[in-house]
Amino acid sequence: MDFLYSLYDALVSINVPGDKARAVVDAMERDMGTTLATKADLQAVVAANKADLQALSVATKADLQVLAAANKADLQALSLEMDAKVQLLSRDIKTLESTVERDLRLLESRMTVRLGSMMVTAVGIVYALQKLL
């Protein structure tokens, strides 16, 4: 605040009355006190910002931990669901395999019967042709 005393001295030296010079210095001091930031004001802002950043960092870490836990739980649930679906699919494939195998055996027996019938018919026709000729 030495500059205010220098300002007062400068005003008085150019013949400004002391009370008016004092009023100017007081007005300037009030104005500076309300509009200008002091070093202490800036340090308080820096300290408040640092505290806010630390709180934000802690909150972010906590949020990330919650998110990680939720993701882990979701992945475990998805894994269990996929395992169940794979088991159902495996069971369905085994059922389909046994159905196809049964159908193939049935088709084989039908083919055998038809082939046998065709052979008997062919032998009968050959026998009948030999008798006619």
Sign of CA dihedral 82, 85, 87, 89: negative
Spatial distance between the Cα atoms of 26 and 33, rounded to a whole number of angstroms: 10
Residue-range domain boundaries for the chain = 1-36, 37-132
pLDDT surpasses 80 at 109? yes
Q: pLDDT, tens digit, for every residue of 36-85?
A: 888 888 999 999 999 999 999 999 999 999 999 999 999 999 999 999 99
* Residue predicted with more confidence, 24 or 62: 62
State pTM to two decimals: 0.48
Q: What's residue 26's pLDDT?
A: 86
Helices (H), 14-133: 18-35, 39-132
> Is the pLDDT reported for residue 113 higher than 70?
yes
